[in-house]
Chains A and B, each alone.
Chain A
Amino acid sequence: MAIDQVNLDIQPGEFFAMLGPSGSGKTTCLRLIAGFEKPTFGSVHIFGERSDGVPPYRRNVNTVFQDYALFPHLSVLDNVAYGLMIAGEEKSTRSKAADEMLELVSLGGFGHRKPSQLSGGQRQRVALARALINKPKVLLLDEPLGALDLKLREEMQEELKLLQRRLGLTFVFVTHDQSEALSMADRVAVFNEGRVMQVDTPESIYKYPNSTFVANFVGASNIVPAEFVSALTGKACPASLRPEFIQIGYGDGYSATVADINFMGAARRVTVDLEECRLRVLLGVDQEAPRIGDQVKVSWAPENLHLMEQNSGNR
């Protein structure tokens, strides 16, 4: 649970994702911003204010917890109104505000229920409403969609994104799901072993990963070994080659043997063995599929071979 040399600058109004495998330090980073952890070295600034020594209850930052952490003894309405109750608002004022908040997350009329009477997706919305009612400057979301099933997760992704745009808030989002980070965030920080590997827009991260770790973790790229790259380009460094940028044919290209084929719904993943390395190729299902054991030619446009010259993830 340690993080080291993490230097992040999150812009106001940004949807910022912290992506990484479990234990990579992304949640620790979020907890530092929320104030649940104290940094041994370094500091966190929130809108320019140094927040060391500021307890969580004085920070204008709110959190949506991974398992929502709804208070089981309070009704949904009282959960949402909790922040206002603590702030000493009148009962009528805070009930009205909580009702509006519940409308916002389309849970109007659910106020009298207990959290235990709600489904996972509804609890998620309650947690969101509760975190938003204090009008935080930054909303922190710790794997908020992790407990939801796929379909609901996709719906909530869209809703969160819309909500963020509508409210103009800064969202800092922790996830281990790379597709979630890519589809939602304005910028993504990829974490590994307590360090930030790369911070960039989803597209840049996907297209131009700076390390084998990022290339592998984001979208499962092919890592072309340095020797092969050296033979191809003259530069001795590993390169990332996205599976969907590779064509399989029988004309020009590098000779390869088909080792395996997996049907994935929207595409087929074909594993081919070149003399130098193994590559995975994504083929559209409309394309004719080779068979296991076939001799094929694989090719790609040279610009799609992204060299990772200052590779730092190869540890």
Chain B
Amino acid sequence: MAIAKPTEATRVAKTGWLGRLSDQLWRSPRLLLVLLLLPPIAWLGIVYLGSLFALLIQSFFSIDEFSGLINYKFTLKTYGELFIPANFDIIVRTASMAAIVTLAAIAIAFPIAFFAARYAKGRWKAIFYLGVMLPLWSSYLVKVYAWKLILAKEGILNWGLETLHLSWLLDAWLSLSVIGGNSLSVSYTGTFLVFLYVWLPFMILPIQAALERVPGNYLEASSDLGARPMQTLRTIILPLALPGIIAGSIFTFSLTLGDYIIPQIIGSSRLFIGQAVYAHQGTAGNIPLAAAFSVVPVIIMGFYLWGAKRQGAFDAL
């Protein structure tokens, strides 16, 4: 079969000015890159970082105690207010909750992620993704209120424990100081459980992604060199999954630090940072203090990431 030989070295453009435009962009890839990146960078720079910067500036102003007006003069007075006991308690309370929620999320998420990454295939993998993602598709408020019902004194959890004649166990737990309370729905334990439930997918998915990238033959090599499964877990799997764990903990930690709905609906009435921000910028009208409060999570996360990097958490990236 004979193939017709092309007669011209270049194909004639038939597409008019659009064709000429794509030719031009092909010749200057830099221009194309700039055009493509400009909108998202403008969004990120102006809307996102810009508002964050505005927030930062606000936190350096102060409020006049008598008139309640904002005094637009640079001062660290508002930051100083964070350290009065009532405010500092809020910070400690929130940070401790965030830390405990994060640790618990790691402990629960890791085995699930490990199973999904190493053993789940085909249909099981689909079931895994559905199981993890499905709760994210429903409204967060609905889930929190559902938990309120579950944890309430008349709720299903109490009923279940009663049926099993285990109410004494719950009562013993609730009688503990700090973490206990009248019922689970008004205790820190309740707040913790709901935080844990709501943020868990954000821990599972990054760990699963990290474990997915660990080739099976690393584990075989480790076993081949004499490492028992627990040693392989400690020396190979955990270090390689660490970036995923850190990524997940950034989510759970910062989401807990900033949340103001869950502690308001479930838990004792003591404030968390989010609630404090909400209260100060709303009814109290103390924007500078609200801004200072919202800078706290940023600083805590900054220290956390810095520490993680120093510990070599990102070496395996």
Chain A interface residues (CB < 8 Å from chain B): 34-36, 55-57, 61-63, 65-67, 69, 71-73, 82-83, 85-87, 130-131, 134
How far is B222's CA from A53's CA once the two chains are assembled, in angstroms? 18
Decide if B225 touches A73 in the complex (CB within 8 Å). Answer: no
Q: List 22 A-B contacts (CB under 8 A).
A: A34-B220, A35-B223, A55-B223, A57-B223, A57-B224, A57-B225, A57-B226, A57-B227, A57-B228, A62-B224, A65-B217, A69-B215, A71-B221, A82-B235, A83-B226, A85-B235, A86-B225, A86-B227, A86-B231, A86-B235, A131-B224, A134-B225
State whether A62 and B225 are in contact (beta carbons under 8 Å apart), knowing that A36-B220, A71-B218 are contacts in the complex.
Answer: yes
CB nearest neighbor in A for B214 = A72
Decide if A73 touches B316 in the complex (CB within 8 Å). Answer: yes
Q: Does B236 contact A (CB under 8 A)?
A: yes
How far is B220's CA from A56's CA once the two chains are assembled, in angstroms? 8
> B217, B226, B228, B239 — which one has the most chain A CB atoms within 10 A of its CB?
B226
Q: Does B113 contact A (CB under 8 A)?
A: no
State whether A65 and B220 are in contact (beta carbons under 8 Å apart), knowing that A72-B316, A73-B239 are contacts in the complex.
Answer: yes
> Would you list which residues of chain B between 171 and 220 have a CB under 8 Å from chain A?
215, 217-218, 220
Q: Which 5 A-B pairs have the closest CB atoms?
A: A69-B221, A83-B225, A73-B316, A69-B217, A56-B223
Residues of B within 8 A of A85 (CB): 235
16 further interface pairs, Cβ-Cβ under 8 Å (given A83-B226, A86-B222): A56-B220, A56-B223, A57-B224, A57-B225, A57-B226, A65-B217, A73-B316, A82-B222, A82-B225, A83-B225, A85-B235, A86-B227, A86-B235, A130-B221, A130-B225, A134-B225
Q: Does B240 contact A (CB under 8 A)?
A: yes
Q: Does B315 contact A (CB under 8 A)?
A: yes
Q: Report B167 CB to chain A, min CB distance, Å.
A: 45
Residues of B within 8 A of A73 (CB): 239-240, 315-316
Residues of B within 8 A of A131 (CB): 224-225
How far is B225's CA from A131's CA once the two chains are assembled, in angstroms? 7
Decide if A71 touches B228 in the complex (CB within 8 Å). Answer: no
How far is B226's CA from A65's CA once the two chains are assembled, in angstroms? 15
> Would you list which residues of chain B between 290 and 306 have a CB under 8 Å from chain A?
none
Residues of A within 8 A of B227 (CB): 57, 82, 86
How far is B232's CA from A71's CA once the two chains are assembled, in angstroms? 11
Decide if B217 touches A71 in the complex (CB within 8 Å). Answer: no
Residues of B within 8 A of A35 (CB): 223
Residues of A within 8 A of B223 (CB): 35-36, 55-57
CB nearest neighbor in A for B228 = A57
How far is B224's CA from A301's CA once the two chains are assembled, in angstroms? 51
Residues of B within 8 A of A69 (CB): 215, 217-218, 220-221
Residues of A within 8 A of B220 (CB): 34, 36, 56, 63, 65, 69
Residues of B within 8 A of A56 (CB): 220, 223-224
Decide if A63 touches B240 in the complex (CB within 8 Å). Answer: no
Residues of B within 8 A of A134 (CB): 225-226
CB nearest neighbor in B for A85 = B235
Residues of B within 8 A of A57 (CB): 223-228
> Would you list which residues of chain B between 238 and 257 have a CB under 8 Å from chain A?
239-240
Q: Which of A65, A66, A71, A130 meets B236, CB within 8 Å?
A: A71
How far is B35's CA from A237's CA once the two chains are assembled, in angstroms? 73
How far is B222's CA from A63's CA once the two chains are assembled, in angstroms? 10
Decide if B225 touches A65 in the complex (CB within 8 Å). Answer: no
Residues of B within 8 A of A63 (CB): 220-221, 224
How far is B231's CA from A57's CA once the two chains are assembled, in angstroms? 11
Residues of B within 8 A of A62 (CB): 224-225
How far is B101's CA from A138's CA once the two chains are assembled, in angstroms? 48
CB nearest neighbor in B for A70 = B221
CB nearest neighbor in B for A66 = B217
Residues of A within 8 A of B316 (CB): 72-73
> A63, A85, A86 — which one has the most chain B CB atoms within 10 A of its CB?
A86
Decide if A86 touches B239 in the complex (CB within 8 Å). Answer: no
How far is B231's CA from A56's CA once the two chains are assembled, in angstroms? 13
Q: Report B315 CB to chain A, min CB distance, Å.
A: 6
How far is B219's CA from A57's CA once the two chains are assembled, in angstroms? 11
How far is B239's CA from A49's CA once the two chains are assembled, in angstroms? 35
How far is B235's CA from A131's CA once the two chains are assembled, in angstroms? 17
Residues of A within 8 A of B215 (CB): 67, 69
Q: Report A3 CB to chain B, min CB distance, Å.
A: 18
How far is B224's CA from A35's CA once the two chains are assembled, in angstroms? 8
Decide if B224 touches A34 in the complex (CB within 8 Å). Answer: yes
